[in-house]
């Protein structure tokens, strides 16, 4: 995927008017911590200052330039939230006189054993900032097309790139960029900088197609009849493997890759969930105030008559960080086992439209006198079944 991002940025600076590509270690000699900016002529190094990066991008955009800025890891973007809010509301607050057409790209999510400072997600926080468009690819071709669309868009756009997919190659011809060599090794020889001495090295850029993936358009990865799974980024591959496992249990999964978090393709979600009657929303971010919760709320409010069972959210645990050791990371973030279980659990819930849902219970408020041992224990103990 990292080569796809680099190819898109090359097209951006040669054909779409990108003037500056910058961030920490983005310019020579490194070309980005994931090498996403190697060989780009407009790439330069910024100070180690995320607020300075966002502020400079805003200034360049308002001065008529077309910048692409990188926050090296999304874990370091949280101290820029006030600036991101300003970038998102400038067009509105200036009554249309000023806009901030910039691209902010940043690696997101877990899966690289990065522990506390290199494993967080930004999707829930990003979707709380009005005025931004937000995309997250799940494969190289979408990464390429979404980046081109982000560059061309007149609004500020966040391109959230799953860290764990940076080194992942195209799974087949459908995920390859039109114009790139069929042999991944050949592409590497053309555009990957040599290890060690790089003086005098120049990339040989292939002539790739100007292929845009529309922002706001989801993609149905797999058709199914029994349950709809909505996800994006790294979790698309996990959900696809889960669907393969469940097919052996005669559970037919429909899988939607959202691709854009804002604007998102609600018609695609609504059509699928209305047809299957069951929905599971999967992502890596922490489960409280999760973007998937918003989608569940819309399903319940707008698709209630079609739902056979309550929708399920499978997301990251609400913990301060992600563990370094592989078992700790696996216990924190959704994986093949937990996603498979969530889908299976959703399908096996009784059909509420057939009158087989569990009967309602009345509750009474009675103080038990027991001392609480946690923040919610007082409430849990106070409510007892009659």
Indicate which residues carry an active-site annotation: 118
Go through the chain and tell me how many residues it has.
386
Residue 157: which H helix or E strand, with range?
strand 157-162
Answer whether 108's CB lies under 8 Å from 162's CB.
yes
Report CA dihedral (347, 348, 349, 352) to the nearest 10 degrees.
70
Q: In angstroms, rounded to a whole number, what is the distance separating the alpha carbons of residues 109 and 330?
A: 13
Q: In angstroms, rounded to a whole number, what is the distance separating the alpha carbons of residues 309 and 227?
A: 10
Closest to 286 measured CA to CA, from 262, 312, 321: 321
Answer whether 203's CB lies under 8 Å from 39's CB.
yes
Tell me, rounded to whole angstroms, the distance of Cα 335 from its chain centroid: 16
Query: Which residues lie across from 190 on neighbouring strands?
Result: none
Q: In angstroms, rounded to a whole number, what is the distance separating the alpha carbons of residues 2 and 45?
A: 18
Q: In angstroms, rounded to a whole number, what is the distance separating the alpha carbons of residues 378 and 353?
A: 35
Residue 298: which H helix or E strand, with range?
helix 291-302
């Amino acid at each position: 995927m990292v080569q796809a991002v680099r190819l898109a940025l090359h097209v951006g600076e040669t054909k779409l008017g990108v003037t500056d590509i910058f961030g920490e270690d983005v310019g020579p000699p490194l070309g980005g911590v994931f090498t996403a900016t190697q060989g780009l002529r407009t790439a330069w190094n910024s100070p180690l200052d995320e607020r300075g990066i966002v502020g400079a991008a805003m200034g360049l955009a308002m001065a008529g330039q077309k910048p692409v800025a990188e926050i090296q890891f999304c874990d370091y973007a949280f101290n820029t939230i006030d600036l991101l809010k300003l970038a998102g509301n400038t067009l509105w607050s200036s009554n249309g006189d000023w806009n901030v057409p910039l691209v902010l790209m940043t690696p997101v999510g877990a899966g690289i054993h990065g522990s506390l400072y290199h494993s967080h997600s930004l999707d829930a926080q990003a979707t709380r900032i009005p005025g931004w468009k937000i995309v997250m690819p799940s494969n190289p071709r979408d990464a390429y097309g979404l980046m081109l669309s982000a560059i061309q868009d007149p609004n500020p756009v966040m391109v959230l790139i799953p860290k764990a997919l940076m080194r992942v190659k195209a799974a087949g011809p459908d995920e390859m960029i039109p114009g790139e060599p069929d042999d991944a090794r050949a592409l590497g020889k053309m555009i990957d900088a040599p290890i060690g001495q790089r003086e005098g090295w120049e990339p040989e850029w292939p002539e790739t197609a100007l292929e845009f993936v529309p922002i706001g358009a989801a993609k149905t990865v797999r058709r199914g009849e029994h349950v709809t799974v909505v996800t994006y980024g790294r979790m698309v591959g996990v959900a696809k493997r889960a669907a393969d496992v469940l097919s052996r249990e005669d559970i037919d999964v429909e899988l939607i890759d959202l691709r854009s978090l804002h604007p998102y393709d609600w018609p695609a979600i609504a059509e699928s969930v209305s047809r299957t009657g069951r929905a599971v929303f999967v992502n890596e971010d922490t489960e409280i105030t999760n973007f998937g919760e918003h989608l569940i709320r819309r399903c319940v409010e707008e698709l209630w008559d079609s739902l056979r069972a309550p929708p399920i959210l499978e997301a990251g645990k609400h913990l301060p960080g992600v563990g370094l050791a592989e078992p700790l990371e696996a216990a924190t973030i959704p994986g093949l086992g937990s996603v498979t279980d969530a889908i299976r659990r959703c399908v096996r819930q009784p059909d509420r439209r057939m009158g087989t849902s569990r009967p309602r219970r009345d509750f009474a408020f009675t103080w038990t006198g027991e001392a609480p041992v946690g923040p919610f224990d007082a409430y849990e103990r106070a409510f007892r079944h009659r």
